[in-house]
Amino acid sequence: MPRCMNRLLGYFLVLSLSAGCASKPPKLDPGLRPPLRAVLTEALAGAVECESPQTAQVNPSSSFKYGCFCGKSYPNLQNPRDASVPPLADAERETLISRYYSIKPIDDIDLACRDHDVC
């Protein structure tokens, strides 16, 4: 888990720094994402726009939120049985991930935040 988080944070930094550049930002390593079984593929295919994306802030605070996924406890998607993530069974983990995948990120930075949350 720490390797995955460090790598995603590195991608987030690169995406943040390259947001205004003409070059295309690097794509996340597909090996960091969970395998796309039917339920996850369906969630991605049917993803809907975020209901209330947060806009960027000039002076972010500890309650910083951006897009649909960036920020502490944002979005607040409940685990299937309100358990912490490690003891979730594979099917429960897949259900939780499908909740994340059913919302479209607003940009690449938001996508990196979503992938970090799923990781």
Q: For the whole model, what pTM was predicted?
A: 0.67
List, in sequence order, every residue forming a beta bridge with 104; answer none if it has no partner: 49
Question: What is the token pair recorded at 32?
Answer: 């960091």
Provide the number of structural domains found in the chain. 1
DSSP string, the chain: -HHHHHHHHHHHHHHHHHTTSSSPPPPPPGGGSPP--HHHHHHHHT-EE-SSPBPP-SS--TT--BBTTBSTT-S-PPPTTS--STT--HHHHHHHHHHHHTEE-SSHHHHHHHHHHH-
Which candidate, 80, 73, 74, places its Cα nearest to that of 97?
A: 80
> What tens digit of pLDDT does each residue of 56-96 get?
888 878 888 999 999 888 888 877 666 555 677 788 888 88
Q: Cα–Cα distances in Å, from 55 out to 39, 68, 80, 117?
A: 30, 9, 29, 19
5-14 average pLDDT score: 55
Q: Give residue 66's domain range.
A: 2-118
More confident residue, 26 or 81: 81
Bridge-based pairing state of the strands 103-104 and 48-49: parallel
Q: What is the pLDDT of residue 101?
A: 93
